[in-house]
Amino acid sequence: MAAYILVDTQIENPEVYEEYKALARPIAESYGGKYLTRGGAMDIIDSDLWSPTRIVLIEFPDIEKARNFMNSEAYAPVRPLRENNAKCTLVLLEGL
């Protein structure tokens, strides 16, 4: 069953965040991750519970591969670039 990492990001330091994007993508892809959207245009239809800023959606073959990416030794030094230069909400969810 596919799994997804959904991230809403408010970038605070664009220069460093570009470095994060360049480093994170190949790591995610090495775990079977496929970027479905990465900060594209949005039409927010309803925002009663949440008002998204910049959405990234990554599909993985299964939830285990998504977790393995998030917890990998390769991603560990890259993760602080996101955490220290952007405010994020990150959700790991199973698909159908």
pLDDT in tens, 39-56: 999 999 999 999 999 999
What is the pTM assigned to this prediction?
0.93
- For the segment 18-32, what is each residue's pLDDT rounded down to a tens digit? 999 999 999 999 999
H/E stretch holding 33: none
- The angle at the Cα of 52, spanning 37 to 32, to the nearest 5 degrees, equals 30
Across the chain, what does the average pLDDT equal?
A: 96
- The angle at the Cα of 82, spanning 75 to 57, to the nearest 5 degrees, equals 80
Tokens representing residue 31 in the block: 């775990």
The domain limits of the chain are 3-41+53-94
Can you tell me the distance from the alpha carbon of 76 to that of 24, in angstroms, rounded to the nearest whole number?
10
Can you tell me the distance from the alpha carbon of 52 to that of 40, in angstroms, rounded to the nearest whole number?
12
CATH of domain 3-41+53-94: 3.30.70.100
Mean predicted confidence (pLDDT) in 9-20? 97
